[in-house]
Amino acid sequence: MDDLKRKYLAAIDAAGSEAALEDLRLAAVGKKGEISLKMRELGKMSPEERQTAGPALNALKDEINSALAAKKSALGDAALNERLRGEWLDVTLPARPRRMGTIHPVSQVTEEVTTIFADMGFAVAEGPQVESDWYNFDALNIAPEHPARQEFDTFYMHRAEGDDRPPHVLRTHTSPVQIRAMEKQGAPIRVIAPGRVYRSDYDQTHTPMFHQIEGLAIDTDISMANLKWCLEEFCRAFFEVDEVELRFRASHFPFTEPSAEVDLRCSWVDGTLKVGEGDDWMEILGSGMVHPKVLQAAGVDPSVYQGFAFGIGIDRLAMLKYGIPDLRAFFDSDLRWLRHYGFASLDVPTMRGGLSR
């Protein structure tokens, strides 16, 4: 055993690569290695001989394994040092320009829309994504029999059997934020409410979770004319064109009266959207004057105050402005898609410097 010890310790010390070291390991302590074969002979020995030979062989095996591990670590350190010498970098050189992360189109468009409305005096309001039935429906004048309150359209939170408390839902729009903002601040008020919303729908232009931004302006002398000006200014700034033309079509929403769908004049040339020209019209949002019952529910006197509200789909705006064909791709977590459609992390939209640079 002394001869084996001297033989393998010397060979290990002289090994110049991890491959040579692995060959030595197999020769010494592998299944057919010399030390392993010696340990198999223990069964042929008398009990007295095993008491002496067994501990000695185990000690030899441990010593060989320790030497192998130490040499492997030394070879790794030497390889790393050699690599560091070969890859030496002068840190005093100017940095190479490199893109630092990528902003998702939804985040970019949210910032763009927020910037535009902030320039018009709108503050940002936020609220919970899990809402009570009252804030999500009742306070917005949505009747109990309205289709939006059915489970095929709305995600209701689980309730234990026998729980008779009012249900909670994943909010279906950001309108509840407007109610909370009026309750907290009162009137006059001018806010936008961006955020995630949830509906049970999934296809090329719908997903169960998407993003909306809703606006609210309440004062003593607000009319549909103010709403029209506000939306025209927004479209002009967002699509970065000099002229836009909007068309208001009568519609019905429980929380506004009168209500209007808003269309934008446009044209499609070789699959590219051109805003402000052409013979086509594209629906972009819903709007109207806030219903008196909604004002009452939020603690605002409808005999003194009136105002307008509107709602825009952020994901749809991103698709239109940046030519993204499928809404579902927004949520696929594909870095290749994000690198293609994403925005530089330090490219912050401003009214002076431009929205999408």
What angle do the packed helices 2-14 and 47-86 form, to 10 degrees? 10
Q: How many CB atoms lie within 10 A of CB 248?
A: 17
pLDDT one digit per residue (tens) for the chain, 357 residues: 788 888 888 888 888 888 888 888 888 888 888 888 888 888 788 888 888 888 888 888 888 889 888 988 998 888 888 888 887 777 777 766 666 778 899 999 999 999 999 999 999 999 999 999 899 999 999 988 888 777 777 888 887 777 777 789 999 999 999 999 999 999 999 999 999 999 887 666 677 888 999 999 999 999 999 999 999 999 999 998 888 999 999 999 999 999 999 999 988 877 778 888 888 899 999 999 999 999 999 999 999 999 999 999 999 899 888 888 888 888 888 888 888 888 887 777 887 777 765
Nearest to 312 by CA among 257, 239, 241: 239
Which amino acid belongs to residue 25? R
70 touches 78 (CB < 8 A): no
User: Read out DSSP for 131-177?
Assistant: EEHHHHTGGGT--TT-GGGSTTTS-BPP--TT--SPPEEE-SSSHHH
Tokens of 335: 């870095």
Match 């999408």 to its residue by tokens: 356
Domain boundaries, the chain: 2-86, 102-127+167-344
| pLDDT given at position 98 | 62
Q: What pLDDT does 208 receive?
A: 85
Q: What is the pLDDT of residue 221?
A: 93
Tell me the angle at which helices 2-14 and 18-29 cross, rounded to the nearest 10 degrees: 170
Q: Give the integer Cα–Cα distance in Å for 259 and 87.
A: 67
Here the tokens at position 200 are 């049970």
Per-residue model confidence (pLDDT) at position 116: 94
Closest CA to 140 of 224, 307, 310, 256: 256
CATH number assigned to the domain with residue range 102-127+167-344, chosen from the 4 options 3.40.50.300, 3.30.930.10, 3.40.50.2000, 3.30.360.10: 3.30.930.10
Q: Would you state the pLDDT for residue 203?
A: 66
Contact indicator for 309, 214 with CB cutoff of 8 Å:
yes
